[in-house]
Chain A
């Protein structure tokens, strides 16, 4: 168990260090995130009252698209020079590799969201009428839902043609319940109409089910040859 944690930690640290070193990827992603917010704001220009109703959906769709761009390069570094073979030959548990990538993506996408959210608040003059603190667990659970399956499907897409389009093709249908839950929970908090508790519970269930599924099946996918 501690070996799993040690390797996950080492792999995650390595990814973060390398991302930090070559800042081009981060800069490009941040700018992309900004562009997405601006495009959405131009396209959907509602009054302050209406915007509370639809902002939940808008924000999460924007997050989803930004996330897909980030997820597509999850394994890029491991593909060069066939580094994945070195992992496969080693006794390191596959789930450690998966966890490190998923956590890395989670951090990365959260940074993007942290940039995009304030911009949305500004452009749409948003103000939460419900308990705003709940937006944090909703954000975390929703992001994890996208990222955990996204990292897994990115690994599956490695063995397909048209890798970049394959990832969203696989990810979007399966993510529908999570998206529904996150959007509705966010809208309920913004409009203050009702409690978001059931949606949050659904998100927790989704995250638990799919995190377990991914951890159990990643070994199979990694060694598929």
Chain B
């Protein structure tokens, strides 16, 4: 699990979107899973961002059933399983537009997981989410990392992934400035800024 950290405008989201194939680099190239053609490996990606990427007018199960079809998955059970995995109720008939932020982020994560991706790209998954939901999500991410998935998380709240992420990647002004195995102590961080 990689945590990409940095202040606003550092380029974290751009990097993540470029990895997921949503935006193209103006210079240089990207290769994921050994392939430069990102479209060919995109079936292995799961992507989540601050907007929910869900249809507000449908309930959770309907949304997941629909997005599963995009991956050729017709298994209804799978949808219910994934919803339960993120801690939500598959029977909930409420449209997603009426969810709380925490529920919405969790449903969005479920959408990203529906096709059992090998690589997860998560852009600020914890922003505006309540503490207990955040805690649950981090636990879930750790489990998935342990079962062999690669997870790339962009966040500006480094402490949430303390002890969970394998590597912290720090960015500033569009460049990666350091990669550490743990969050450095506050004094070291200050001296790095200067």
On whether A and B touch (CB less than 8 Å), the answer reads: yes
Task: Across the A-B interface, give the 8 residue pairs with the lowest CB-CB distance, nearest first.
Answer: A92-B70, A82-B51, A10-B69, A86-B53, A90-B70, A89-B47, A91-B43, A81-B51
Taking chain B's interface residues, is the majority helix, strand, or loop, or is none over half, making it mixed?
loop
A225 adjacent to chain B (CB < 8 Å): yes
On whether the beta carbons of A87 and B57 are closer than 8 Å, the reply is no
Option from B20, B42, B55 in Cβ contact (under 8 Å) with A83: B55
On whether the beta carbons of A225 and B22 are closer than 8 Å, the reply is yes
Chain B residues proximal to chain A, CB less than 8 Å? 20-24, 39, 42-43, 45, 47, 49, 51-58, 66-67, 69-72, 111
- Beyond the given pairs A10-B69, A81-B52, A89-B22, 5 more chain A to chain B contacts, judged by CB atoms under 8 angstroms and listed by A's residue number, are A18-B57, A81-B55, A82-B49, A90-B67, A225-B23
B43 proximity list for chain A (CB < 8 A): 90-91
On whether the beta carbons of A86 and B69 are closer than 8 Å, the reply is no
On whether the beta carbons of A81 and B69 are closer than 8 Å, the reply is no
Which residues of A1-28 have CB atoms within 8 Å of chain B's CB atoms?
A: 3, 6-7, 10, 14, 18, 21-22
On whether the beta carbons of B111 and A86 are closer than 8 Å, the reply is yes
Taking chain A's interface residues, is the majority helix, strand, or loop, or is none over half, making it mixed?
helix
Given A85-B49, A89-B47: A7 touches B23 (CB 8 Å cut-off) = no
On whether the beta carbons of B71 and A91 are closer than 8 Å, the reply is yes
A14 proximity list for chain B (CB < 8 A): 55, 58, 66
- In the bound complex, what is the Cα–Cα distance between A22 and B106 (angstroms)? 26
On whether the beta carbons of A88 and B22 are closer than 8 Å, the reply is yes
Interface size on A, residues (CB 8 A): 22
- In the bound complex, what is the Cα–Cα distance between A3 and B71 (angstroms)? 9
On whether the beta carbons of A87 and B54 are closer than 8 Å, the reply is no
A18 proximity list for chain B (CB < 8 A): 55, 57-58
Contact count A vs B, C-beta below 8 Å: 65
On whether the beta carbons of A225 and B57 are closer than 8 Å, the reply is no
- In the bound complex, what is the Cα–Cα distance between A91 and B41 (angstroms)? 9
A161 adjacent to chain B (CB < 8 Å): no
A159 adjacent to chain B (CB < 8 Å): no
On whether the beta carbons of A6 and B69 are closer than 8 Å, the reply is yes
Report B101 CB to chain A, min CB distance, Å.
Answer: 12
B52 proximity list for chain A (CB < 8 A): 81
| Closest partner residue, chain A, to B53 (CB atom) | A86
On whether the beta carbons of A86 and B67 are closer than 8 Å, the reply is yes
Report B102 CB to chain A, min CB distance, Å.
Answer: 16
Option from B21, B58, B71 in Cβ contact (under 8 Å) with A88: B21
- In the bound complex, what is the Cα–Cα distance between A90 and B42 (angstroms)? 6
Report A83 CB to chain B, min CB distance, Å.
Answer: 6
Report A114 CB to chain B, min CB distance, Å.
Answer: 25
A90 proximity list for chain B (CB < 8 A): 42-43, 67, 70-71
Report A57 CB to chain B, min CB distance, Å.
Answer: 39
On whether the beta carbons of A82 and B57 are closer than 8 Å, the reply is no
On whether the beta carbons of A83 and B54 are closer than 8 Å, the reply is yes
| Closest partner residue, chain B, to A22 (CB atom) | B57
B-contact bits for A55-74, CB 8 A (1 contact / 0 none): 00000000000000000000
